[in-house]
Amino acid sequence: MIQAEGLRKTFGNITAVEEVSLEVRPGEIVALLGPNGAGKTTTVRMLAALLRPTAGRALVAGYDVLRQPEEVHRRVGLLTELPGLYLRMTGYEYLAFFADLYEVPRPLLKQRLEAWLDRLELRGALHQRIATYSKGMRQKLALLRAFLPLPPVFLLDEPTSAMDPQSAQVAREMIRSLAQEGHAVLLCTHNLYEAEALAHRIAILCRGRILVEGTPQALRDRFLGPPVYELRLAAPAGQALELLPEGLAVVEWGDHWVRYRTSDPERENPRVLQALLAHGLPVVSLSEVPRPLEDLYLRILNGAAPPASPDPVAQFEGEHACRS
Ligand SMILES: Nc1ncnc2c1ncn2[C@@H]1O[C@H](COP(=O)(O)OP(=O)(O)OP(=O)(O)O)[C@@H](O)[C@H]1O
């Protein structure tokens, strides 16, 4: 649905996007992450056929952003960070105006709004002028506007940044449901919780280039190393340390807990439990230590090698780290 190859954008002597190639398939949510000024918005604007790439090409819903911009406009639900809203209109007039533009018949407009108006807590304000809306209300209205024609492709730049947590949760459900219905979604966000909750794949952009791209799980394995497990005991950790299977990669321990790393938990975890239970050691729990996306993101941007760094990553560190 989105296929971009070698997209580049310069403004005079400023290179906003150096080289971006990415793909978003139908039903997929891809999160584009990266520091301020990395080139996310510029990439989105090129994909929305609002900015002409200096080089490269992109097909969006099968149409070329350079040669068929109007076809692209018709097939993209765009939400920008600063949506241009017509402040004198009421929320409803605004949505009806765009529904007419997108040729969405009124009954369909009503039906599509019904599903989300209450949940986004916007119904009460629908007949007020947009000028009286708060930032979050404006963002919700802009999201509804992008959503209304149900285009095949959504380009969402910080879609929930101004919303309260409850509304942001509803907006995320909306975005998830779009993907479940087969729409392709490119999501730019600084909210790593949001990326984690929604994205099938993430791409990290830095200085106009994609540093890495993949599923969160694959990137975790590559940059954070194999998962770490934590054993909690109702006995001193020292007793467990003596009983653990030989060769187990223990990484740290405290009074009543031990952490170890393994890339083969199906084999290793039962062995660990058997070894301890066979000696009557009281095991309270065994669980994977969460590896937040934030850790992954910072590690990649800082170019730190992962624990027990295999060569490809050390190479990555040398070549691409996004340090200033
Ligand atoms: N119209 C423009 N003229 C000149 N430079 C621009 C223009 N638009 C963007 N840039 C520059 O291009 C770079 C990328 O900007 P862009 O807005 O795409 O970054 P971003 O990743 O979306 O950042 P943020 O996370 O802060 O929104 C920045 O250095 C910015 O100053």
Residue 305 banded pLDDT, cuts 50, 70, 90: low
Residue 314 banded pLDDT, cuts 50, 70, 90: very low
Question: If you take atom 17 of ligand 1, which residue's CA is the nearest one?
Answer: 41
| One domain for residues 129 and 180 | yes
Task: Taking residues 184-188, report their average pLDDT.
Answer: 97
What three-state secondary structure class fits 63?
strand
- Give distance in angstroms: CA of 207 to centre of ligand 1: 10
Do you know the residue count of the chain?
Answer: 324
pLDDT tens for residues 24-83? 999 999 999 999 999 999 999 999 999 999 999 999 999 999 999 999 999 999 998 766
ipTM over 0.90: yes
Instruction: Give the Cα separation of 117 and 125 in Å (integer).
Output: 10
Residue 312 banded pLDDT, cuts 50, 70, 90: very low
- pLDDT of 320 > 70? The answer is no
| One domain for residues 138 and 87 | yes
Report which ligand 1 atom has the smallest distance to the Cα of 190: 25
The CB-side HSE value for 256 (13 A sphere, CA atoms) comes to 9
- Specify the pLDDT at position 323: 60
- pLDDT of 138 > 60? The answer is yes
Question: If you take atom 27 of ligand 1, which residue's CA is the nearest one?
Answer: 36
Pocket test for ligand 1, best of 7, 36, 42, 47 (most atoms within 8 A of CB): 42
- pLDDT of 304 > 70? The answer is no
Total number of domains constituting the chain: 2
Report which ligand 1 atom has the smallest distance to the Cα of 15: 12
Asked if residue 139 is part of any domain, the answer here is: yes
* Full residue range of the structural domain in which residue 267 is found: 228-290
**DSSP conformation class of 158:** S
Question: pTM for the complete prediction?
Answer: 0.86
Mean pLDDT of the chain: 90
**Domain closes at, from 180, 203, 221:** 221
- Give distance in angstroms: CA of 15 to centre of ligand 1: 9
Ligand 1 pocket, CB under 6 A:
11, 14, 16, 34, 36-42
Instruction: Give the Cα separation of 143 and 151 in Å (integer).
Output: 13
Instruction: Give the Cα separation of 108 and 156 in Å (integer).
Output: 23
| One domain for residues 64 and 208 | yes
pLDDT tens for residues 94-126? 999 999 988 899 999 999 888 898 899 999 999
Report which ligand 1 atom has the smallest distance to the Cα of 34: 21
- Specify the pLDDT at position 264: 92
Report which ligand 1 atom has the smallest distance to the Cα of 39: 18
| One domain for residues 203 and 119 | yes
Cβ(260)–Cβ(244) below 8 Å:
yes
- Give distance in angstroms: CA of 21 to centre of ligand 1: 18
17: CATH: 3.40.50.300
- pLDDT of 324 > 70? The answer is no
